[in-house]
């Protein structure tokens, strides 16, 4: 399939805006929706005039909005104006399931259906303590957020099997990099370290396999070169050069070293789903199938990615103060 027209839900977010930028450079027509006003969508500042931006929620998308698109990447949530956050169980479920349902219903009614790519999360496996995770591993969420992402995955495949909606699920490992949300752990640690503020580190011994944003974007670039070949499949975008898995404490120590900061780190309680039967989250990821199928490998070590991310935050610190 030749990708000519791409629609991105949540286009003003970290992943959505970055995907928009790389595909515009490839000559693809890009349009998308989000729940923030266009003048507040700072991540799109360099490409606002090049994308068709729809200020509406995913609930409100119609088939006419998607008409002519070869593919849709579902990076968005469905709130009508501003998100309520992930602290409310009701909003966590609504934010991850209802928008997917609305989008799938819209695509289902289209005569020529675009391929829908759903970026999911490895939170769907956090109950698999100490286990190895592959593309075929059984879902085992241990938090409401993880459950809602797992439920959304199953919803996508239900529409694929029952209604012929072409879908691909991609599980993105813990990602970090330019334009990242300030509430995500690496970015929050960087901001605190640059200001030498005391940081209360939750889930200190829980482990992550962090993936730098440039490797994530390279993964999606490879995927969209062969999109038709992966309909109905699940792929893994996870890892760094060397596939180093670290605890949250080790991540904080690396950021302190990169920023040359005197920030004090205080251990805080574990978040829901981050400790199970007294043991912190710990697993390994085997993405051999995805890497071979897409001819994709992470190019950045964890340390290289952190250095690049710190540099970007230093240059753009004003956006987060």
The phi, psi pair for 259, rounded to 5°, reads: -90, -5
Residue by residue, pLDDT tens for the chain (321 residues) are 678 999 999 999 999 999 999 999 999 999 999 988 988 999 999 999 999 999 998 888 999 999 999 999 999 865 444 444 456 788 888 888 988 999 999 999 999 999 999 999 998 998 887 788 999 999 999 888 899 999 999 999 999 999 999 999 999 989 999 999 888 999 999 999 999 999 999 999 999 999 999 999 999 999 999 999 999 999 999 999 999 999 999 999 999 999 999 999 999 999 888 888 889 988 888 999 999 999 999 999 999 999 999 999 999 877 665
Residues 184 and 228 in one domain: no
**Residue 132 and residue 284 in contact, taking contact as beta carbons nearer than 8 Å:** yes
**Residue 277 and residue 248 in contact, taking contact as beta carbons nearer than 8 Å:** no
Position 67 in a domain: yes
Q: How far apart are CA 149 and CA 95, in angstroms?
A: 10
Residues 137 and 264 in one domain: no
Position 218 in a domain: yes
Residues 185 and 71 in one domain: no
Among 165, 141, 163, residue whose Cα is nearest residue 93:
141
Question: Judging by DSSP bridges, how do beta strands 115-121 and 167-172 pair with one another?
Answer: parallel
pLDDT of residue 320: 62
Residues 74 and 113 in one domain: yes
pLDDT of residue 77: 67
Position 288 in a domain: no
CA dihedral sign of residues 102, 80, 184, 93: negative
CA distances from 191 to 80, 112, 179, 307, 315 (A): 29, 46, 13, 13, 12
Which residue, chain included where needed, has tokens 């200190």? 204
Residues 61 and 199 in one domain: no
Position 293 in a domain: no
Residues 220 and 77 in one domain: yes
Domain of 204, CATH number, reads 3.90.25.10
| Distant-in-sequence, close-in-space partners of 49: CB < 8 Å, separation ≥ 6 | none
175 forms bridges with which residues in the sheet? 211
The phi, psi pair for 246, rounded to 5°, reads: -130, 155
Position 216 in a domain: yes
Query: Which domain does 89 fall in, by range?
Result: 5-175+211-237
pLDDT of residue 321: 53
pTM attached to this predicted model: 0.93
Which residue, chain included where needed, has tokens 């011994």? 205
Position 232 in a domain: yes
Domain of 30, CATH number, reads 3.40.50.720
If residue 221 lies in a helix (H) or strand (E), which one and from where to where? Answer: helix 213-224
What are the CB-based long-range contacts (under 8 Å, 24+) for 179-187? 179/14, 179/17, 179/18, 179/43, 179/213, 179/312, 180/14, 180/213, 180/309, 181/13, 181/14, 182/320, 185/248, 185/251, 186/210, 186/251, 186/255, 186/306, 186/309, 187/309, 187/313
Among 319, 305, 211, 299, residue whose Cα is nearest residue 258:
305
Position 102 in a domain: yes
Orientation angle between helical segments 14-25 and 213-224, nearest 10 degrees? 50
- The full DSSP string for 256-292 is HHHHT----EEE-PPPTTSEETTEE---EE--HHHHH
97 forms bridges with which residues in the sheet? none
How many domains does the chain contain in total? 2
Residues 22 and 159 in one domain: yes
pLDDT of residue 319: 67
Position 82 in a domain: yes
Residues 119 and 195 in one domain: no
Which residue, chain included where needed, has tokens 């970290």? 14
Residues 20 and 109 in one domain: yes
Residues 127 and 198 in one domain: no
pLDDT of residue 233: 97
Residues 187 and 149 in one domain: no
**Residue 53 and residue 31 in contact, taking contact as beta carbons nearer than 8 Å:** yes
Residues 273 and 306 in one domain: yes
């Amino acid at each position: 399939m030749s990708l000519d027209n791409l629609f991105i839900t949540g286009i003003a977010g970290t992943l959505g805006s970055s995907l928009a930028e790389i595909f515009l450079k490839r000559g693809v027509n890009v349009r998308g929706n989000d729940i923030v006003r266009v003048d507040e969508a700072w991540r799109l500042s360099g490409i606002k005039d090049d994308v068709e931006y729809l200020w509406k929620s995913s609930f409100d998308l119609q088939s006419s909005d998607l008409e002519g698109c070869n593919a849709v990447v579902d990076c968005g949530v469905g709130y009508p104006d501003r998100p309520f956050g992930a602290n409310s169980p009701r909003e966590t479920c609504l934010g991850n399931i209802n928008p997917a349902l609305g989008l799938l219903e819209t695509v289902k009614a289209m005569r020529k259906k675009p391929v829908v790519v759903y970026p999911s999360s490895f939170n769907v496996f956090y109950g698999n303590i100490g286990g190895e995770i592959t593309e075929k591993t059984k879902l085992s969420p241990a938090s409401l957020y993880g459950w809602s992402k797992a439920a959304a995955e199953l919803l996508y495949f239900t529409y694929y099997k029952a209604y012929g909606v072409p879908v691909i699920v991609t599980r993105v490992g813990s990602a970090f990099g330019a334009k990242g949300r300030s509430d995500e752990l690496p970015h929050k640690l960087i901001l605190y370290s640059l200001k030498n503020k005391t940081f209360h580190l939750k889930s200190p011994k829980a482990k992550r396999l962090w993936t730098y944003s440039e490797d994530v974007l390279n993964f999606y670039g490879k995927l969209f070169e062969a999109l038709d070949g992966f309909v109905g499949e699940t792929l893994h975008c996870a890892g760094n050069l060397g596939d180093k898995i670290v605890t949250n404490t080790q991540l904080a120590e690396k950021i302190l070293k990169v920023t040359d900061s005197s920030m004090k780190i205080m251990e805080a309680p574990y978040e829901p789903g981050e400790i199970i039967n007294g043991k912190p989250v710990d697993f390994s990821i085997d993405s051999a199938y995805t890497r071979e199928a897409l001819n994709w490998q992470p190019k950045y070590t964890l340390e290289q990615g952190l250095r690049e991310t710190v540099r970007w935050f230093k240059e753009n610190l004003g956006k987060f103060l």
